[in-house]
Structure 1
Amino acid sequence: ARRGAGSASGAHGGGGRRALQLVVLEADNVLADLHLNAHLPALNQALKQHGAVWEADKTLYQSCLRMPHDGSFESVARAMFLAKGWPAAAGEDSEARAEFCAKLHASKRKAFVAMLEAGEVQLRTGVQELVDAAAAAGVQVAVLAGTGSHPEDMAAQLLVRHLGPSYAALLPIFDARFKREQFQSIAGEVVEPCVAGDDDEPESADLMEDVLGLAARDQRRSLAADAARNCLTGGIIIDNSLGAAPSVRQSAFRALADMLEVEPSACVALVGSVSAAQAATAAGFVAAAVRAGVAARGEFPGATAIYDGCGPGGGATLSRLEALINQ
């Protein structure tokens, strides 16, 4: 049986009105506009470090993201260099330029994470108020990670951390490429990896050792270890730590609904990427979009509503999201 949740308006089915059970917030585009406020400045730091005499502006960055490419940083960077010219340090042959792009990418990721760790990336206005309103109304909130940044950069975890210490357990984080068969639910928490059979539950000590062993492989060990501990004390971390971000899997949303025991049709996914909107809709969620700085209003054909931000005055609010499931 699915578990219900309190309604934002206090209605529990009176007059046929349905209660909102879950709001999913995409980290990369909804918690913060990471493309414009983190990825782009980090890229410009890396370009300067590697000898470029120009900076990428919003128009160039947006154009290169929109061009057909394979989703890799190198393909986007090559499009940028075709428009602006290769730095001398890149060399002339394709092998040297591929190596240059790899070094540039590593520098860009380092700058990106440094900005997040230092708290230099501002959350969207109204996001914290939306989370607080949901908590007060008994509506669950989860964070979708890995749609626009590398999972190992832990952008979602860092953004949640900057909300405040009490939010780590309040906001479960799940990865965009999550597959249900890769994980096992243990007393309500989800962890990786699972080595037990369906009828076996590992001891907490063994589970902690396993999770912390994974965390030790990450360069931000203390943060990853804290996240792992949250798994055992009420939080949920679902992250399969794959490489470059492919399209979001609808199985991620279905698995989340199963584990939180909510009805997909009573859940809203507030996202900022096309693939996330499509995956949420395919999984039976109601998809709503918040435009990122590099997105246009016409780019969300699967979204029921499109907002320019969060909060009053035309943004996404809890009451507006609840209204979407009752249309």
Structure 2
Amino acid sequence: MDSASFSILRAQPFSSAAAVFPPSNNTTARFFALPKSNRNPNLVPPFSSTFPRNSTFPGKCLHFDRFAAFSSLSGAQDQNPSQELAVLLEVDGVLMDAYRLGNRQAFNAAFKKLGLDCASWPEPVYLDLLRMSAGDEEKMVNLYFNRIGWPSSLPTSEKASFVKNVLQKKKIAMDEFLMSESLTLRPGVEEFIDESYKEGIPVVVLTTYSKSGDQIARSIVAKLGQERVSKLKIVGDKEVEQSLYSQLVNDTGLSSGMDEQLAKEAIKSVSAEKQRIAEEVASLLKLSVDIDTSPSESLEKIIAALRAGAEVAGLPVCDCVLIAGSQSGVAGAERAGMPCVVLRSSLTARAEFPSANAIMDGFGGADLTIYKLRNKRRS
């Protein structure tokens, strides 16, 4: 006689009702009446009192094992651990350090396209300009040409348009570099993503507010490999637009909930109070002021992306951690109420991030690991 092991989560009360067994080829053997018993009605009658030890019947005899039941329950819990953490990754400065690898070369390519053969930035010159301008590329160009001299054919009134043209050509060259196969990802990022997947931690990559745009950012993500990308969730422009948060805020297809309306009214009240105080101070000084207390459009886009990322991960914003490589990402996380860890890059090596929860120099080893993120969340 065959034997099958069943897991019991809880015993069901039995009376004179029928017990249901797995179907067999003989449909007449599917139901068996259980005799009444004076035992505790919440316990299943032992098979020895229900069927003779040597009895046979069509179908399989069920062997109930308490140890197997609890082992099965424990195994199910192990396979589905509670997701107490999700990781959101920026592209710029996190998946790759493009400024270290290609920013200087992109400037030199722009100078070449404009026919400025005398203009070239060796690494010491580039680093010096980067330090003096605090990473502001427009200032870098102005500082450089103020030092070596502007093109002789360039009128003074056209310096601003000249700088703008240089930056446009530089962006084109940078985008071409980002799309090239020679670009490499930051060391350790692939292992970090693999470890997250192994630990059951959702990883969401935010491509929507990348400086190079959603499409180029997605091409960078593709460098992780098809198998690894299949384990990720990507939030781009389309995903943000379709998120519940964006629909609530923009009132597209859904009416704003009470919490959202209250939040909007609170922001309006705070802004109005700031304006009132400023006007009182200004009246004493006989000045006219108009304070813009609303978040910038770019910051609103980042906040929407972070909330969409939390939706995709299936966790509250406070249970997600943004791994940021930009000041704007840190500012957005602070406004959204999301914990944030900064990963320094060549562009932000000397920058300060007072609102970040932690600052790391890279992935793995003494820097950012899943183990450290978990401990940070629990502390």
Return the alpha-carbon distance in structure 2 between the equivalents of residues 137 and 99 of structure 1. Answer: 52
Match among 18, 30, 34 for residue 98 of structure 2: 34
- Which residue in 1 is equivalent to 2:360? 307
CA contact (8 A) 2:100 2:346 kept: yes
The alpha carbon displacement at 1:280 in A equals 1.4
Return the alpha-carbon distance in structure 2 between the equivalents of residues 265 and 62 of structure 1. Answer: 35
- Which residue in 2 is equivalent to 1:53? 118
SS of the residue corresponding to residue 24 of structure 1 reads strand
- Tell me, yes or no, if structure 1 residue 294 matches structure 2 residue 355: no
Return the alpha-carbon distance in structure 2 between the equivalents of residues 275 and 252 of structure 1. Answer: 12
SS of the residue corresponding to residue 310 of structure 1 reads coil
- Which residue in 1 is equivalent to 2:227? 166
- Tell me, yes or no, if structure 1 residue 281 matches structure 2 residue 331: no
Return the alpha-carbon distance in structure 1 between the equivalents of residues 327 and 227 of structure 2. Answer: 31
Return the alpha-carbon distance in structure 1 between the equivalents of residues 331 and 94 of structure 2. Answer: 16
- Which residue in 2 is equivalent to 1:24? 88
CA contact (8 A) 2:175 2:212 kept: no
SS of the residue corresponding to residue 306 of structure 1 reads strand
Return the alpha-carbon distance in structure 1 between the equivalents of residues 106 and 299 of structure 2. Answer: 21
- Tell me, yes or no, if structure 1 residue 132 matches structure 2 residue 194: yes
CA contact (8 A) 1:143 1:156 kept: no
**Alpha-carbon distance change, 317 to 83 in structure 1, aligned in 2, over 3 angstroms:** farther
The alpha carbon displacement at 1:276 in A equals 1.1
- Which residue in 2 is equivalent to 1:105? 167
Matched positions, count: 254
Per the normalisation by structure 2, the TM-score is 0.57
- 2:333 is aligned with what amino acid? A
Superposition pairs for residues 1-327 of structure 1, below 5 Å? Answer: 20-50=84-114, 51-56=116-121, 57=123, 58-63=126-131, 65-66=133-134, 74=138, 76-88=140-152, 91-95=154-158, 97-145=159-207, 149-151=211-213, 154-174=215-235, 183-185=241-243, 197-198=253-254, 249-296=302-349, 299-312=352-365, 314-327=366-379
**Alpha-carbon distance change, 170 to 79 in structure 1, aligned in 2, over 3 angstroms:** farther
Return the alpha-carbon distance in structure 2 between the equivalents of residues 98 and 34 of structure 1. Answer: 26
Return the alpha-carbon distance in structure 2 between the equivalents of residues 247 and 185 of structure 1. Answer: 14
CA contact (8 A) 2:324 2:341 kept: yes
Return the alpha-carbon distance in structure 1 between the equivalents of residues 105 and 210 of structure 2. Answer: 15
**Alpha-carbon distance change, 40 to 171 in structure 1, aligned in 2, over 3 angstroms:** farther
SS of the residue corresponding to residue 104 of structure 1 reads helix
Structure 2 spans left out of the alignment, 5+ residues:
1-77, 256-296
- Which residue in 2 is equivalent to 1:220? none
CA contact (8 A) 1:44 1:55 kept: yes
Return the alpha-carbon distance in structure 2 between the equivalents of residues 148 and 64 of structure 1. Answer: 25
Structure 1 spans left out of the alignment, 5+ residues:
1-8, 14-18, 200-243
- In terms of Rg, which structure is larger? 2
Return the alpha-carbon distance in structure 2 between the equivalents of residues 295 and 167 of structure 1. Answer: 28
Return the alpha-carbon distance in structure 1 between the equivalents of residues 230 and 157 of structure 2. Answer: 47
Which digits, 9 at most, give the CA deviation of each residue in 1:182-234, with x for residues without a partner?
72249xxx99xx9x8459xxxxxxxxxxxxxxxxxxxxxxxxxxxxxxxxxxx
**Alpha-carbon distance change, 61 to 299 in structure 1, aligned in 2, over 3 angstroms:** same
- Which residue in 2 is equivalent to 1:229? none
Return the alpha-carbon distance in structure 1 between the equivalents of residues 254 and 172 of structure 2. Answer: 40
Return the alpha-carbon distance in structure 1 between the equivalents of residues 298 and 150 of structure 2. Answer: 26
Return the alpha-carbon distance in structure 1 between the equivalents of residues 318 and 99 of structure 2. Answer: 30
- 2:234 is aligned with what amino acid? I
**Alpha-carbon distance change, 74 to 94 in structure 1, aligned in 2, over 3 angstroms:** farther
Work out which structure has the larger RCO, using CA pairs closer than 8 Å and 6 or more positions apart in sequence: 1
SS of the residue corresponding to residue 183 of structure 2 reads coil
- How large is the Cα RMSD of the aligned pairs? 3.6
Return the alpha-carbon distance in structure 2 between the equivalents of residues 146 and 65 of structure 1. Answer: 27
SS of the residue corresponding to residue 226 of structure 2 reads coil
